[in-house]
Amino acid sequence: MMERRAPILIAVAALLIVALSSVFTVSETQLAIRQQFGAIVGSDYAPGLHVRWPFIDNVVKFERRIVTQNYQSETFLTSENKGLIVDFYIKWRIADTARYFRATQGREESAGLRLAEVVKDGIKAAVAQHTLAQIVSAERSAFTSDMFDRASASSAQELGIKLIDVRVQRIDLVEEVSGSVYQRMQESFNVRAKQLRAEGSGDAERIRAEADRQRTEILANAARDAQRLRGEGDGAAAAIYARAYGKNPEFAAFYQSLQAYRESIGREGDVLVISPDSDFYKYLRSPAAH
């Protein structure tokens, strides 16, 4: 019985192997090409299940997602032949799988190195057209746009790659240049600081003079208003006294005489020389008569 079933099992296994070898899957994060004897016969497969010739076709898969590669400490020369150390990164993804495989044999490292050389040429050209001061003070986007355009228009298309982004992360000076640059920057900052201090001192003097002028003007106006109010008060007081004295002139004369007595003989040792029949003496001589 087992001897009769063995050929059947072998046939079923063979058919299963052939069936499994006749299909392949592509995930959402993958791209694929199909080869026959080294020649590409299919590319740009959508995610899902696909058919191939068993034992004849060879399927090669690639990364569909964006690839990021960093490049550090690359040295470039400015128009003054001064060295700059530049760190940058590249973002790219496969746009044409067949062209990408023919150009790089499907190796990300090879594609990244070839693309980086083009970007380096763009950086070199951009840096060589400017002085060190211009590069330090300029926006990074001025260099990034030039590098991006150069790489996109040439090797990126030849490699079957779409360049997503190129960014300069850091720009630094080589050791022999950094000392002199920092010294010039310090001197420039010192000159600027002196200028700002001089402008601040001038503004302070102007503000102080303006404050003194306003203070003098305010005090003068206050003194003027005080004199006016004092005069108005004295006039009002005199009018009140006059009305009060007019109601009883005799009492007013008596009250004024008492005030004069207090001012004249109110202190110890005062001596008053007057005529006995004078008006000033009349209230002292006979106050009841009046």
Q: What is the DSSP letter of 130?
A: S
**Containing H/E element for 275?**
none
Sign of CA dihedral 95, 97, 99, 105: positive
What are the pLDDT digits (tens) for 240-251? 877 877 777 777
Average pLDDT of the residues in 226-236: 90
pLDDT reported for residue 50: 82
Residue keyed to tokens 């022999």: 176
Alpha carbons 62 and 43: distance in angstroms, whole number = 11
pTM for this entry: 0.51
Q: Measuring CA to CA, how many Å separate 198 from each of 12, 122, 195, 205?
A: 97, 45, 5, 11
Alpha carbons 127 and 170: distance in angstroms, whole number = 14
Strand 83-94: give its sheet, edge to edge: 67-77, 83-94, 161-173
Q: Measuring CA to CA, how many Å separate 188 from each of 78, 133, 184, 192?
A: 21, 12, 6, 6
Q: Which of 37-41, 64-68, 173-177, 195-199 has the lowest mean pLDDT?
A: 173-177
Average pLDDT in the chain: 77
Between residues 270 and 118, which one has the greater pLDDT? 118
